[in-house]
Amino acid sequence: MKTRAAIAFEKSRPLEIVELDLEGPKQGEVLVEVKATGICHTDEFTLSGADPEGLFPAVLGHEGAGIVVDAGPGVTSLRKGDHVIPLYTPECRNCPSCLSRKTNLCTAIRATQGQGVMPDGTSRFSYEGRMVHHYMGTSTFSNYTVLPEIAVAKIREDAPFDKVCYIGCGVTTGIGAVINTAKVEAGATAIVFGLGGIGLNVIQGLRLAGADMIIGVDVNDDKKAWGERFGMTHFVNPKEAGGDLVAHLVNMTKRGADQIGGADYTFDCTGNVDVMRTALEACHRGWGQSIIIGVAGVGQEVRTRPFQLVTGRVWKGTAFGGARGRTDVPRIVAWYMDGKIAIDPMITHTMPLERINEAFDLMHAGKSIRSVVVY
Ligand code: NAD
Ligand code: 022
Ligand code: ZN
């Protein structure tokens, strides 16, 4: 069949809207009509050419929502008409990682996903007879896409596609980092670095978990109002923290008879390795945990004095918020539908596929929290 898609022909060139050829679903695969997709940093990272593993030509996009329109042989958990969210972190429930219960990083189709092909080693996309790569196993910048059954979460049918697509990455990553990775308890003190599309979701995750003090840190003062909207209780602009940001944050979080400061939990949502260090060092001695969510540039390294860890601080990272997609994503959709979490105000821009490049411009300019393309 034919599908309208935004294709990345080569690095650092705008996406082009073309008609692609798409083969139908094979064994264990489904054909999904994508109704909406968010535009996220990793799409930009790959398109810019900064990602050494980026493959071209490719159909990017990993934050979508849509409807199953066809199922290949052997598919048992999905059928035509199901409303779904594609998963760049699949959940096979059968590989050693899924069975371990200790990680969400399913390994069933990991190798082929990274190579931009389906599990059988081939691509369903082509243009003028030339193979086009899949991306993160999702390729949601195409009106129709083929996905492995294990990389699809079935969701309720009354959820609006143009909002819940954000659950395909940003919402789940931010909220999941709080609930699955940090396991924040009621009454906790937390600091969130970077109040963008991820950080704001960390903030609303912290509110959901019942955190008492939620400090937001951002170099952009406009983010103060954004943070407050989702539960932030205090704001710090590092430029106004008097040179020593760690000392400033530790001072703000002093409590107890011993008056030792530091947060129970901190989250890096910037991808800046210096911020990651600050986040670790702003944790409480003995038990503070710092969660790295941001993706750093290629070759970047984190540093700190080992003493920070010897004295009980814990450094962790999280992918897709530690969420098991097929199990957790439908639950997060329900939280949204029940009004427990917000999504609508974070979607600052909506546009047709023809204008998808504007979404990248808005992201560069820091003018959007999230842009969504509606097909
Ligand atoms: P964003 O651009 O919307 O937000 C980043 C925010 O950080 C901005 O508000 C910016 O002003 C602020 N900032 C920049 N430098 C700062 C500094 N030195 N100190 C304090 N604040 C600073 O980006 P986003 O969509 O929120 O994504 C954040 C990061 O999360 C990216 O690196 C992205 O790739 C990553 N991410 C990771 C996962 C995962 O599974 N681990 C999933 C999604 C996104
Ligand atoms: C999503 N991300 C950033 C912004 N939006 C993002 C990027 C990478 C990962 C997660 C989220 C990530 C963390 C760890 C891994 N990835 C490796 C997982 C593994 O090896 O099992 C990651 C993922 C997918 C891909 C590459 C890296 C891919 O499909 N190309 C989950
Ligand atoms: Zn993303």
Residue ID of nearest Cα to ligand 1 atom 4:
196
Residue 200 and residue 275 in one domain: yes
Least distant ligand from the CA of 177: 1
pLDDT at 135: 98
Record the pTM. Answer: 0.98
Residue 15 and residue 130 in one domain: yes
Residue 189 and residue 311 in one domain: yes
Residue 331 in any domain: the answer is no
Ligand 1 in reach of 217 Cβ (< 6 A): yes
What element of type H or E holds 374?
strand 370-374
pLDDT at 106: 98
- Residue 282 has a CB neighbour count (10 Å cut-off) of 26
Residue 327 in any domain: the answer is no
Residue 116 in any domain: the answer is yes
3-class state of residue 65 by DSSP = strand
Write the DSSP assignment of 218-249 as a string of letters: -S-TTHHHHHHHTT--EEE-GGGSTT-HHHHH
From 240, 238, 244, 234, select the one nearest 212 (Cα to Cα).
Answer: 234
> Would you name the residues annotated as active-site residues?
40-42, 62-63, 92, 95, 98, 106, 110, 169, 370
Ligand 1 in reach of 269 Cβ (< 6 A): yes
Q: Give the span between the Cα atoms of 215 and 231, in whole angstroms.
A: 9
Task: Please provide the size of the chain in residues.
Answer: 375
The parent domain of residue 52 ranges over: 2-168+343-374
Residue 189 and residue 100 in one domain: no
Residue 227 CA to ligand 1 centre (angstroms): 14
Q: To test the ligand 1 pocket, which listed residue (226, 293, 360, 368) has its Cβ within 8 A of the most ligand atoms?
A: 293
Q: To test the ligand 1 pocket, which listed residue (295, 361, 367) has its Cβ within 8 A of the most ligand atoms?
A: 295
Domain count, the chain: 2
* DSSP code for 260: B
Q: To test the ligand 2 pocket, which listed residue (106, 110, 136) has its Cβ within 8 A of the most ligand atoms?
A: 136
pLDDT at 343: 98
User: What is the Cα Rg of the chain in Å?
Assistant: 21
| 361 Cβ neighbours under 8 A, 6+ residues apart | none
Least distant ligand from the CA of 38: 3
Residue 63 CA to ligand 3 centre (angstroms): 6
Ligand 1 in reach of 282 Cβ (< 6 A): no
pLDDT at 113: 98
HEC string of 167-224? HHCHHHHHHHHHHHHHCCCCCCEEEEECCCCCHHHHHHHHHHHCCCEEEEECCCCCHH
Residue 219 and residue 137 in one domain: no
Residue 252 and residue 179 in one domain: yes
Ligand 1 in reach of 198 Cβ (< 6 A): yes
Q: Give the span between the Cα atoms of 280 and 262, in whole angstroms.
A: 10
Residue 210 in any domain: the answer is yes
pLDDT at 157: 98
Q: What is the CATH number of the domain that holds 190?
A: 3.40.50.720
Residue 107 and residue 122 in one domain: yes
User: Which mean pLDDT values do the consecutive 10-residue runs of the chain (375 residues) have?
Assistant: 98 98 98 99 97 97 98 98 99 98 98 98 98 98 98 98 99 99 98 98 98 98 98 97 96 94 98 98 98 97 98 98 98 98 98 98 97 98
Residue 312 and residue 361 in one domain: no
pLDDT at 150: 98
Do 159 and 333 form a contact (C-beta atoms < 8 A)? yes
Residue 161 and residue 184 in one domain: no
Residue 160 and residue 41 in one domain: yes
Ligand 1 in reach of 173 Cβ (< 6 A): yes
Residue 330 in any domain: the answer is no
Burial (0-12, 13-18, 19+ Cβ within 10 Å), 4: middle
Ligand 1 in reach of 295 Cβ (< 6 A): yes
Residue 179 and residue 164 in one domain: no
Residue 333 in any domain: the answer is no
